[in-house]
């Protein structure tokens, strides 16, 4: 229960930061719109977000079911990525916003996601990007570790309990897996086709300090910062501060 307690503390703190930063809400709205463009619609499965935190995705995707490890009045469900409360092949879109880097055993989570996502359905991951400059910023000014140099524990041990495991964070894991392809083998993602790996600047987010850091530009300059992002997008290895990964569930696997 340690992870759940720590995660809940962070959510309550984040709500206070969210309310005091109008520009942050606009930045996140742009993030959610980017995610929404990759979601499927019109199918029989549901759209579900794991680790919804404050549940803000509903402003962009009102039909998306929100969930987290613990109940809160603004969330629809309690869900755990390692043990989902869904029947086989019933989810059309599964969204994880800043969740993948909290999965200590991502192979276990992908196996569970493959069970509930229908063939042709999608998993959409939105994660910290580790371009050179954002990596330095996140290393020195963010409370979560990057995790570079530490092994990624794909498989959970036999005595692993999804409901009771320690708090974990390694912000660089998605970059290591989907950009560097570190440890990424056919076995690891045998059920998934990688449709898109988008290395995005995210500097409007970085420069507004995210949820916890100081805001480095006034709200009125947000359009100018977003224009700057377009210029920086041509050198993702240096400037990418966000990563958007889209996976499609293969048929017959």
**Mean pLDDT of successive 10-residue segments in the chain (253 residues)?**
59 74 92 97 92 93 95 94 97 98 94 96 98 95 92 91 89 95 71 95 92 88 95 95 97 75
C-alpha atoms less than 13 angstroms from C-alpha of 133 in its C-beta half-sphere: 14
Give the whole-angstrom CA distance, residue 174 versus residue 123.
13
- Residue 2: what pLDDT? 47
**Nearest C-alpha neighbor of 28 from the set 59, 64, 72, 67:** 59
One of 3.30.230.10, 3.40.50.300, 3.40.50.150, 3.20.20.70 is the CATH number of 2-249, namely: 3.40.50.150
- Residue 13: what pLDDT? 74
- Residue 163: what pLDDT? 86
Give the whole-angstrom CA distance, residue 237 versus residue 100.
21
- Residue 44: what pLDDT? 82
DSSP state of 250: P
- Residue 18: what pLDDT? 80
Please state the φ and ψ torsions of residue 119, each to the nearest 5 degrees: -55, 130
């Amino acid at each position: 229960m340690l992870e759940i307690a720590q995660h809940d503390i962070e959510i309550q703190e984040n709500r206070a930061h969210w309310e005091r930063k109008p520009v942050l809400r606009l930045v996140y709205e742009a993030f959610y719109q980017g995610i929404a463009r990759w979601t499927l619609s019109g199918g029989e499965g549901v759209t579900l977000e794991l680790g919804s935190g404050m549940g803000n995705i509903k402003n962009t995707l009102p039909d998306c079911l929100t969930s987290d490890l613990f109940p809160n009045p603004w969330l629809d469900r309690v869900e755990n990525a390692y043990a989902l409360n869904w029947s086989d092949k019933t989810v059309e879109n599964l969204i994880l916003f800043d969740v993948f880097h909290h999965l200590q055993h991502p192979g276990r989570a992908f196996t569970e996601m493959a069970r509930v996502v229908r063939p042709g359905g999608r998993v959409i991951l939105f994660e910290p990007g580790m371009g050179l400059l954002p990596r330095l910023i996140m290393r020195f000014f963010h409370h979560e570790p990057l995790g570079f140099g530490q092994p990624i524990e794909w498989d959970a041990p036999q005595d692993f309990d999804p409901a009771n495991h320690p708090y974990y964070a390694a912000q660089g894991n998605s970059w290591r897996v989907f950009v560097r392809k570190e440890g990424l083998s056919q076995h690891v993602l045998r059920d998934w086709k990688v449709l898109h790996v988008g290395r995005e600047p995210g500097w409007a987010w970085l420069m507004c300090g995210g949820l916890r850091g100081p805001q480095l530009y006034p709200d009125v300059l947000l359009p100018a910062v977003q224009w700057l992002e377009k210029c920086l997008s041509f050198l993702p290895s240096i400037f990418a501060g966000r990563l958007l990964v889209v996976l499609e569930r293969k048929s017959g696997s």
